[in-house]
Amino acid sequence: MKIKEVIQSKFNLATILILMLLIASCKQETQAPTTENKIPELIDRELYFGNPDKIQIRISPDGEYFSYRAPLEGVMNIWVAPIDAPDQANPVTKDTLRGVFAYVWSYKPGILLYAQDVGGDENWHVHKVNVETKQDEDLTPFENILGPDGVALVDPNTGKTVRPRAEILSVSKEDPNNILIRLNKTDPQSMDIYKISLDTNSLEMVLKDNAYAGVTPDNLNRVRLASKMVPEGGMIVYKIDGNKANEYMKVPQEDLMTFGFLGFDKSNENVFVSDSRGIDKAALFKMNLESGEQELIAKNDKADITNVLVNPITYEVDAYEDNYFRSKWVALSDDLKEDLKYLEEFNDGDYGVYMRSVDDKTWIIAYDSPKEFLKYYKFDRDERKAEYLVSSKPAFDNVQLSNMYPLEIESRDGHTLVSYLTIPSEMDNNGSTESPAPMVLLVHGGPWGRDGFGFNGMHQWLANRGYVVLSVNFRGSTGFGKEFINIAAEEWAGKMHDDLLDAVDWAVDKGIADKDKVAIMGGSYGGYATLVGMTFTPDVFACGVDIVGPSNLETLLNTIPPYWKSIRTMFVHHIGDPETPEGKSLLNERSPLTYVDSIQKPLLIGQGANDPRVKQSESDQIVAAMNERSIPVTYVLYPDEGHGFARPENNLSFFAVTEMFLSKHLGGRYQEIGDDFEGSSIEIKDAGNLKELNKIKS
């Protein structure tokens, strides 16, 4: 499970979907030494799936406070200390259930913000915390969306009342006493824009939603741009003037996922854009709002430019991320070149800049390396010196971890699939193995996301249990240009699945994977890919692990969250249209539920009952179909989880079950379950081939 922080909010449409390895010729990017054939110690599961010690290290914008997220009685909360006494941190939040997932400092001194949902339903409330008084206030304390008759609306798919959803849109140094949020408190489908005063907590609507897929404020917290998808494909960008929206420009369908606004310059008259119109890989431009003229700042021949560093003083973009195999920051100003060179040479891992002080003299950075868990440093620009702060999980320093190898695999129709291979340390022979080994094909979600280089807890856990792990950026993955995304349109269970099969064939042909011991596993789209593997190609995989994956594409599209209505056109274009006979036929043809009779190999399914994206019914219906046909299935449900498992106790219990399941069907090592169900809400709906689960739970 990749543990990376979100570096910054991006206005790229692909990020709205929330969300989430040797070159084909066998030439590695770097050669790792052959390790001794010594089987490492079995590492306790809790190290992989338990809470980190400290994560999301920050310094407040005014430089007064040091902060991070850490456990409080086993639940992640926000801790704050005076900047000159970081060891004296105290918790300023007191969550006792799911924990605080992320937070951001406002520019109002002593005030930070976070969002919290209930049981994984993703209907977030925005909270304000005064770090001195520890007063925690809910800025969006709305529990139900009321209809015209004043009665709470009910979701017909779940029978539950519809709760509003709030999202933090903007905090601003130029407008420190106010923030912008998106909130659908009057209509489930309308994410209206509100300004909230951090002095009075009052809400003021500043823009009524009009099916906007995204909005972009300037540095003064004024909404300046909004984008709206159109039925014929693509989107229209509007310039916003108060409550008036004037059509400004059009973005074709083919560029929809490779176009996005990245923020305004200091004048608030020019906006930075990641744009692929007329080219394949999204390049970085500066666009004048008045004239529409664009100035090219940077481009890359292999990868999209979608992530930038913005100078907190000048508001200019002074570096961008180059990420094909690995992440590398490229300076755009002479001022930054030596700093980035120092950081690149300081540590072997890929670094991220997670905070720049308002005077730009202090940065918080963290390094991401396959064999080193996230470590934070304070970088003093005047001294050009990085000082170690904390490690998120120091215990990883004392265990043997495995190498990850970036590589390119060629698909059957000639496309390059950037992939990542992790080989157990006792088997690793410079990126290969002496003999074929059991392998887990780990498929990322989205599908509009990507796998990357760095510490990957799932890879390391599986490698420690004796499995080779392969993750593939199949077509439709983002970051590699618009063509690579668009060739996946209507190819769910088609050529997207072919790419995964080609990766398996590559690993088998190289003698790395045992063709009779390959599992497929993943969450969300990765869960769907698992079900496709079990039904469309039942002879390829020895078993499958589906985590919150859809089984029926028509029901998936007909039950997406109401606040996703503004981007539904994009789903329809890429998956299929349930409103037309041809579209319904395609969706039925590409749905694993249609081919449930073909399932021959063991299947494990994990589901959150409150999942707003892939409803519980997606798992329920394929389990029911398997039961009707007396096909064994192991199905576990979590009543307090949503789209994935957030509580460490639930993570531990699910991956304890997964470990037993994989060991039984692939033959790797496993740690006895012991007390890993303690504190978990796990419900074993069907034990399938793991009948011992009933005894363990009871």
Which residues does the annotation mark as catalytic? 524, 611, 643
The rounded distance, in Å, linking the Cα atoms of 458 and 442 is 9
> Which one-letter amino acid corresponds to residue 532?
V
Tell me the angle at which helices 525-535 and 495-509 cross, rounded to the nearest 10 degrees.
70
DSSP run (H or E) holding 395 = none
SS (H, E, C) 628-678: HCCCCCEEEEECCCECECCCHHHHHHHHHHHHHHHHHHHCCCCCCCCCCCC
Peptide bond before residue 447 is cis, with ω within 30 degrees of 0? yes
How do strand 125-130 and strand 111-116 relate by DSSP bridges? antiparallel
The rounded distance, in Å, linking the Cα atoms of 571 and 409 is 27
CB atoms within 10 A of CB 586: 21
Report whether 52 contacts 393 (CB < 8 A): yes
Report whether 468 contacts 386 (CB < 8 A): no
Radius of gyration from C-alpha coordinates of the chain: 24
The rounded distance, in Å, linking the Cα atoms of 67 and 20 is 26
In 334-429 the beta strands, taken as DSSP E runs, fall at 350-356, 362-369, 372-380, 385-391, 404-410, 416-422
Separation of CA 382 from chain center: 34
3-class SS of residue 27: coil
State both tokens at 659: 């470990």
The rounded distance, in Å, linking the Cα atoms of 236 and 246 is 10
